[in-house]
Amino acid sequence: MLMDISSEMIHSLLPLFMVGTLGASAFAVGLVEGLAESTALIVKVFSGVLSDYLGKRKSLAVFGYALGALTKPLFAIAQTTGIVLMARLLDRVGKGVRGAPRDALVADIAPPEVRGAAFGLRQSLDTVGAFLGPLLAAGLMLLWADDFRAVFWVAVIPGLLAVALLLFGVREPERHVGEKRGNPIRRENLGRLSGAYWWVVGVGAVFTLARFSEAFLVLRARQAGIAVALVPLVMVTMNVVYAASAYPFGKLSDRMNHKTLLAWGLLVLIAADVVLAMDARWTTVLAGVALWGIHMGMTQGLLATMIADTAPADLRGTAFGFFNMVCGLAMLIASLVAGLLWDRLGAASTFHAGAVFSGIALLGLLRKF
């Protein structure tokens, strides 16, 4: 939560800072973001493998969070787009390094009978940070007359608090300390990742193809005639619903069949797509966005729980790394397709396609019951 507050305070303002203050083009903004997210995807796999090889999750997670926190001053002092690119790449390296080891550490620490609740709580707090960060940034911009650099300096504080909390407040289970480990990506070790695990990876990828980027929710909100200054509140609404629902659904997953809950999550996503495709009135858009948030709360922590349940304990870092990479690539493909449909056929076609993909995923899921 703390690191997300720190990061979103900057990321919610960064495109405006690059274009308005540094004079960058829209292409430069897209290039920076594309390179940054691609870097995070690649690093996630290697960090997960390394955490299994070393048998240590916390040290890698601390390094990843610390790297993310220490990049924040670079944004505040940046005078060129090149400095911003370097800061974003380092920040995404930090995110990639910490992602898989952190999720594996949550799985290691949480008792199996409450693992769903643990991942639901992690997802909920993560999402709380995702809407508190932009709200705090907006408030400080109003207070300090659009002083981007001052806001970026403030973002350093929650980032450092996140590192301190992990460093001094989390103890790693002893079974991962001092044990001799083999190479996790050797054929015999990868062979221990069961068919059940790869099925969850496939389901996660199909879910992502059906969902595409939340950026299209923002574009739909703009079509609804919502003022530009208020459009970010649409994402705040989605994240509030997401944060409020993730923990309760996480707890429910500890007592309910996982495939059943995934099926219900897909039905909610289909409903969200249908509502968003209906028209661009602001009431309709808000209803669709709220349904989208419920779907995220139902499924994202659940998929992480299913990865933890189906992967061997000593290969969880590797398992989360591959899962994150596959879903990230699926998100890239889904967003490209969604953008093409939006440009060629209109906004409604994008959401209709999402509903069709969701229906296909639901049929595939029901065949597994």
pLDDT tens across 224-262, in order? 776 655 666 777 788 888 888 888 888 888 888 888 888
Q: How confident is the model at residue 12 (pLDDT cuts 50, 70, 90)?
A: confident
CB 39 within 8 A of CB 325: no
Q: Residues 280-324: pLDDT tens digits? A: 788 888 898 899 999 988 888 888 888 888 888 777 777 888 888
What residues have CB less than 8 Å from 261, skipping those under 6 apart? Answer: 249, 252, 253, 298, 299, 302
Structure tokens at 338: 């969604």
Residue 178's pLDDT is what?
47
Q: If we measure between CA atoms, which residue out of 157, 147, 149 comes closest to residue 69?
A: 157
Domains of the chain and any CATH numbers: 1-171 (1.20.1250.20), 189-369 (1.20.1250.20)
Asked if residue 339 has pLDDT above 80, the reply is no
CB 362 within 8 A of CB 263: yes
The SS3 of residue 319 is: helix
pTM check: above 0.85 = no
Mean pLDDT, the chain, rounded, equals 82
